[in-house]
A and B are shown apart, each in its own frame.
Chain A
Amino acid sequence: MDTIILYVIALGALLFSFFHNKQKTSMALKKAWKAFEGILPQFITVLFLVAAVLAILDTETISKLLGKGSGFWGVLIASLVGAITLIPGFVAFPAAAALLQSGAGVTQMTAFISSLMMVGVVTLPMEIQYFGKKVAIFRNILAWFFSVIAAYFVGWVVSL
């Protein structure tokens, strides 16, 4: 769904640009290609990492890990699983909803969703390429800490 929006915006902008200045448009496309080619090695690396991680941690295994977890350890496990997986929201939200119905805790689910979105261990090679090791690693650690805090907050609000 959001990919369609992205295509509509990109194509609209491209057409608009093309009618205003053909030369600039072809320059933009060249730059787009160059930027893509620049990150391609990291892209391919991430692809392999994601494939291996998601084969081991498939939805079933994740459900088992998160379903069992309770208390602080559950939150910790949930946030770690979220940190090393890469699942789009439209798959993660219904999965989390199903887990909640089968008895998983709200706090654990929030920890999973928050770290899934904010922390990207497998995409680190790409992040480092643009932001350097220091910023990339620090950002991921902070985001991971934060996902645990967010989990307790959302768990508390939902329980009110």
Chain B
Amino acid sequence: MNKALKRYIPTIIVALLFIGFLVLFPQWRGKTVQSITVQMKTMLLVIPPIFILLGLLDVWVPREQMITLMGEGSGLKGPILAFLLGSFAAGPLYGAFPFAAVLMKKGASFSNILIFIGAWSTTKIPMLLFEIASLGTRFALSRLFIDIIGIIIIAWAIHGSIPKQEITRLYDQAKNID
């Protein structure tokens, strides 16, 4: 079977289930169609700049430089940079994954990648002011504080419990991104 087509088999199955869902539950049909349009708009809006940035990063930043900045021996510089990179990013968490893969390809260490993902998911600087306005300074800042600790603990726990060979496999996979 065509290799390109094969990749889409799970997607086609989910699409069929989705159509089944629409047929079986007419009461949710309107809302589902509405939410798929909204989500698709968000994705189409957010995807181009994120992928353009990761393409540029891939082309312009040499591997050696990324290793000194965010690699194993980068000391405190690596996690801080990973944290800032994730915190100043915009867009939903799914935008962070392809970006992280390029960072891995370039030689950023795995714990720094995990910090980057954690920061992207929850300590968004562009969102912080909005959170303060909606929920108050005390709420937003105490959440920011506990989240920074959480990001570090989660990164440390994942790094410590995932077998080395799995991490090596992920890096090999990232290397093959063209």
Q: Is the CB of B11 within 8 A of A44?
A: yes
Question: In the complex, what's the smallest C-beta–C-beta distance from B102 to chain A, in angstroms?
Answer: 7
Least distance between B148 CB and chain A CB atoms (Å): 11
Taken together as a complex, chains A and B put the C-alpha atoms of A90 and B42 apart, in Å, by 13
Nearest to B174 among chain A residues (CB) is: A130
A55 to B26, CA, bound (A): 11
Bound state CA distance, A48 and B18, in angstroms? 7
- Tell me whether B92 and A88 are in contact (CB under 8 A): yes
Smallest CB-CB separation from A31: which chain B residue?
B55
A118 vs B86: C-alpha distance when bound (angstroms): 13
Interface pair B97/A154, CB less than 8 Å apart: no
Contact with A along B75-107 (1 / 0, CB 8 A): 000000000000001111110011011100000
**1/0 per residue A67-83: CB within 8 Å of B?**
00000000000000000
In contact, A158 and B52 (Cβ under 8 angstroms): no
Is chain B's interface secondary structure helix, strand, loop, or mixed overall? helix
Q: Are B59 and A24 in contact (CB under 8 A)?
A: yes
Q: A residues within 8 A CB of B161? A: 138
Residue A117 CB within 8 A of the other chain: yes
Do B130 and A89 touch (CB < 8 A)? Answer: yes
Given contacts A35-B54, A131-B97, A154-B146, contact A41 B18 (CB under 8 A): no
- The residue from B8, B91, B97 contacting A6, defined by CB atoms under 8 A apart: B91
Q: Which residue from B15, B97, B170 sits with its C-beta under 8 Å from A48?
A: B15
Q: Are A36's CB and B47's CB within 8 A? A: yes
| A24–B124 alpha-carbon span in the complex (Å) | 31
| Dominant secondary structure of chain A at its interface with chain B | helix
Q: Are B158 and A138 in contact (CB under 8 A)?
A: yes
Contact B98 A93 (CB under 8 A): no
Q: Using a CB–CB distance below 8 Å, which chain A residues touch chain B?
A: 1-3, 5-7, 9-11, 13-14, 17, 24-25, 27-36, 38-39, 41-52, 54-56, 58, 86, 88-90, 93-94, 96-97, 100, 106, 109-110, 113-114, 117-118, 120, 123, 125-127, 129-132, 134-135, 138-139, 142-143, 146, 149-150, 153-154, 157-158
Which positions in B face A, CB cutoff 8 Å?
7-8, 10-11, 14-15, 17-18, 21, 28, 31-36, 39-40, 42-43, 45-56, 58-60, 89-94, 97-98, 100-102, 114, 117-118, 121-122, 124, 126-127, 130-131, 133-136, 138-139, 142-143, 146-147, 150, 153-154, 157-158, 161-163, 166, 169-170, 174, 177-178
